[in-house]
Chains A and B, each alone.
Chain A
Amino acid sequence: MASTIRVRATANGDTTEVQALIQHPMDSGYVKDAQGQIIPPHFIQQLIFECAGKNVFVADWGTAVSKDPYVKFAFKGGNKGDDLKVSWTDNKGQSDTLTAKIA
């Protein structure tokens, strides 16, 4: 299966701009399906961006974040060609990781 993570990072002077899109249902646990059954909560709890052995962005998420979340941020440092590692874990213990090069 293809990765659930799409990421693009571009170094621009002394900062690096990062955009990421993650495929995840982000079910809140408050929604019912067509049969009237509650869809159990299923959401990302932690999202981490790591560059050169350092966490540059850590998000503790809950049920309020929408489906297929999109993240955009910038951090100081980061050079062209550096690795940027993105990983998430959800409340069911599932996770995914992707390493991208900073362009």
Chain B
Amino acid sequence: MRTAIRIALTAFALVTLASTGARAADSVDPAAEAKAFQKYFTDKFPKLKLEEFVNGPYSMNEDMHKQWVDKEEFPPYDFALDAGKEAFTKPFKNGKTYADCFANGGIGVRQNYPYFDEKEGKVVTLELAINRCREANGEAPFSYVKDDMASLTAYMAFTSRGKPFDIKIPDDPRARAAFENGKEYFYTRRGQLNFSCASCHVQNPGERIRAEILAPALGILNAMPIYRSEWGGMGTISRRFVTCNSQTRGVPIEPQSDEYRDLEYYLSYVSNGLPISGPGARP
């Protein structure tokens, strides 16, 4: 008798769990989320135009803006851009190129990544798509954090400059769940310092963390990949996520794992409408 009750209770618990899970995904309204997210930043920085947020810390005050104007005249990502263009056009051993893997030959498509692949049921980022393209053509995949990947994405972003982020969330509960997971990752505190992504990039953009000025989360991915003077080199979105996690003394997860893909999906979607400005230069 007791076992029967227990089984019944467990079954009941499972049913409620499943139904709340489904309800959560159904009630997500990403468009309203994005609107509220953008409004938060435009209210916080009423002088800034929406498209200026893509310049990250360089949009945060006049002095930084001056530095940015100077830097853009002679940008440090220039070498990576050249290397990326060369790598992009150089054929694989089988004679095909990256252009064969992407819509419009890979030119001017950055703003459509990441997208939700309904067949796979997961988010596909540009970095992931590049490595899948390499593997499909018998080439070894690139490291997600290092120069080769950064140069390629730099070139692809450069050909897409000015195009507004156009991330779509299809009418699929899994896509909405991915968006929601990304949001949860973004707002969850972790690491020894107990920081969430939002602690810095939503609550404190424009403030200093040691000598650095924090970038607003709005438009933060539009400028990727970046030449970071602190790194003395280029970094990808994956590198940014991994180092953010380790700087809060957390344990980073694997680049392009589901959580990071969902996070990129969420962060890109809420910046919809803001222009691609990558590759960027950052202090």
Chain A residues within CB distance 8 Å of chain B:
2, 6, 8, 19, 21, 23, 66-68, 70
Report B-chain residues with C-beta under 8 Å of the C-beta of A23: 79
The tally of CB-CB contacts under 8 A between chains A and B is: 24
Chain B residues within CB distance 8 Å of chain A:
73-74, 76, 78-79, 82-83, 86, 232-233
Q: By the criterion CB–CB under 8 Å, are B232 and A70 in contact?
A: no
Expressed in whole angstroms, the Cα–Cα distance for A6 and B77 within the complex equals 12
Q: By the criterion CB–CB under 8 Å, are A68 and B76 in contact?
A: yes
Report B-chain residues with C-beta under 8 Å of the C-beta of A8: 73-74
**Contact sample, A vs B, 24 pairs, CB 8 Å cutoff:** A2-B79, A2-B82, A2-B83, A2-B86, A6-B74, A6-B78, A6-B79, A8-B73, A8-B74, A19-B73, A19-B74, A21-B74, A21-B76, A21-B78, A21-B79, A23-B79, A66-B232, A67-B232, A67-B233, A68-B76, A68-B79, A68-B232, A70-B74, A70-B76
Report A-chain residues with C-beta under 8 Å of the C-beta of B73: 8, 19
Expressed in whole angstroms, the Cα–Cα distance for A23 and B78 within the complex equals 10
Report A-chain residues with C-beta under 8 Å of the C-beta of B76: 21, 68, 70
Expressed in whole angstroms, the Cα–Cα distance for A66 and B232 within the complex equals 9
Determine how close the nearest CB of chain B comes to the CB of A16; give it in whole angstroms.
16
Residue of A nearest to B79 (CB): A23
Determine how close the nearest CB of chain A comes to the CB of B227; give it in whole angstroms.
9
Report B-chain residues with C-beta under 8 Å of the C-beta of A70: 74, 76
Determine how close the nearest CB of chain A comes to the CB of B225; give it in whole angstroms.
16
Expressed in whole angstroms, the Cα–Cα distance for A70 and B79 within the complex equals 13
Residue of B nearest to A6 (CB): B78
Report B-chain residues with C-beta under 8 Å of the C-beta of A2: 79, 82-83, 86
Expressed in whole angstroms, the Cα–Cα distance for A68 and B79 within the complex equals 10
Residue of A nearest to B75 (CB): A21
Report A-chain residues with C-beta under 8 Å of the C-beta of B79: 2, 6, 21, 23, 68
Report A-chain residues with C-beta under 8 Å of the C-beta of B86: 2
Residue of A nearest to B80 (CB): A23
Expressed in whole angstroms, the Cα–Cα distance for A44 and B86 within the complex equals 26
Report B-chain residues with C-beta under 8 Å of the C-beta of A68: 76, 79, 232
Residue with the greatest number of chain B CB neighbours at <10 A, chosen from A2, A8, A70: A2
